[in-house]
Structure 1
Amino acid sequence: MDGSTIFIKILLGIGLAFNVLGVIALYRFPDVYTRLHGTTKCTTFGSIFTSASVVVYSIFKYVTTGEPRFMTFTIHVIIAIFALLITNPTAAHAIARAAHKSGIKPIGIVDKLSEEKAGEKFS
């Protein structure tokens, strides 16, 4: 196993971890706003890291074989990353705005321990 294969596996592992965190955020968070925040951030970073592993693989293949199709593939993946960086936050904003306009209120997350400590300070 050479260095590029290890680096590709590390990038894929980081991307997978971010995507798993996005799934956990989708199921764990209480309302649409916090779910959007968690899933949008995590899936954006997860997709960037998995796409970066594809870029590293195709550059490695271009260097070893010299075939220009791998550089074309790299350029396409980079364009897809930029499209993702533009569309993912925009879509999340549109969903949050639609939820707000339809009257969905955010659920307040209350930290009981912090409230108790705050009460002790003021008593």
Structure 2
Amino acid sequence: MLEFFLSFLILTGAIFTFIGSLGLVRLKDMYTRLHGPTKATTLGVGSLLIASAIYFSAQGPSISLHEFLITIFLLITAPVSAHLLAKTALHLNLTSLAEKPEKDAIDQGGPDEVDTTEETEKADTTDTAVKPEAAEALQAPDQTKS
């Protein structure tokens, strides 16, 4: 019975890893390519590591915790690295193949749309005047240096 369960975990891990790798190769956009390694491959490698931990715990005299630690570190680091890669792509202004939403769809909004016109009017009427001495300091060059 243990062999069937381990076989199931290994096959599941292999399928998820293959799908994640295939997604990395087939997807055209950097943003969509992030999904392959971070989602499917994480599940695949995690499944393989759990199968390995169960097998070596059953065969050996003690419990094998190395694989569980690797699985925990994998589950922690994969989303963080994907987030950093996505932020880097946004910072570098990489283009996405996804279409941008139309302006009409944004303007129509929905029931969750918040009316911010009052807040905008309040922001426009706030006191944003610059004091005269600050304005002179900004315009006049510093003549104190000799």
Alignment TM-score > 0.5, same fold: yes
Name the SS of the counterpart of 2:65 in structure 1: helix
Counterpart contact for 1:31–1:106, Cα < 8 Å: yes
Question: How far apart in 2 are the matches of 1:26 and 1:38?
Answer: 5
Q: Percent identity?
A: 30
Quick check: 1:81 aligned with 2:71? Answer: yes
Task: Map residues 1-80 of structure 1 onto 2, 5 A cutoff.
Answer: 3-62=1-60, 67-68=61-62, 71=63, 74-80=64-70
Per-residue deviation, residues 47-77 of structure 1 (Å, max 9, x unmatched): 1100111121022214xxxx23xx1xx2111
Per-residue deviation, residues 21-61 of structure 1 (Å, max 9, x unmatched): 01111122120111101221011100110011112102221
More contact order relative to length (CA 8 Å, sep ≥ 6): 1
Q: Which has the higher helix share?
A: 1
Q: Which has the larger radius of gyration?
A: 2
TM value normalised by structure 2: 0.64
Q: Which runs of 4+ in 1 moved over 3 A?
A: none
TM value normalised by structure 1: 0.75
CA RMSD in angstroms, aligned pairs only = 1.3
Question: How far apart in 1 are the matches of 2:37 and 2:67?
Answer: 22
Counterpart contact for 1:11–1:50, Cα < 8 Å: yes
Runs of at least 5 residues in structure 2 that lack an aligned partner in the other structure = 100-146
How many residue pairs match? The answer is 99
Tell me the CA shift for residue 18 of structure 1. 0.3
